[in-house]
Amino acid sequence: MKRSGIAALALVLLAAIAIHAQTQTQSAASGQKTLAATMNVYVFPNAGQAASQQSQDEGECYNWAVQNTGTDPFQLQKQAQAQQQQAAAAQQQASHAAQGSGMKGAARGAATGALIGGIAGDPGKGAAIGATTGAVAGRSRGRRAEQQAEQQVAQQSAAAQQATAQQLENFKKAFSVCLEAKKYMVKY
């Protein structure tokens, strides 16, 4: 049962890709950018193919490249945007955590200071000193944690961008090979 569900899902995805590619080729015929042009791939018809034939060939090669690389450039773009949003949310969360660290440190310091101040004879003064010390220490810990989180997000973002660039490069190679087999000159 799972296999039939997966097969059905795969068919639906392939149909969606084909429709997407067909839509792209139809928009090329109406004076909009061609499918190749949207990916910064330059295609010249060596055998004098008509624009409609070129659009059809680009659509076929797009589908072939998606199937052979497992990469859809338009999906990569959506994934990159989602990753950027996640990174921004992670940075915001780290910033909020850092702000809370100062308050937590102040509370801990006040409690400790009150205890020590109680032994020394002035719990109020001890609590005030402890709260100030705890707030400073808490903020410092919070800043360090925030910086570490920002570094981690930056590293993950750089790795994701590099992987995306490599996937796009592989897709363009496959797309180009297909078009070259159909007698087009291709540069990207």
- Record the pTM: 0.56
Amino acid 27: pLDDT: 45
pLDDT values of the chain reduced to their tens digit, one per residue, 188 residues: 555 555 544 444 454 455 555 545 444 445 678 999 999 999 999 999 999 999 999 999 999 999 999 999 999 888 878 877 877 777 677 666 656 555 665 556 555 655 565 565 666 666 666 666 666 666 777 778 778 877 887 788 888 888 889 999 999 999 999 999 999 999 99
Amino acid 2: pLDDT: 57
Task: Judge residue 80's burial from the number of C-beta atoms within 10 Å of its C-beta, 0-12 exposed, 13-18 middle, 19 or more buried.
Answer: middle
Amino acid 150: pLDDT: 78
Instruction: Tell me the β-bridge partners of 184.
Output: 45
Q: What one-character-per-residue DSSP string does 72-108 give?
A: -HHHHHHHHHHHHHHHHHHHHHHHHHHHHHHHHHHHH
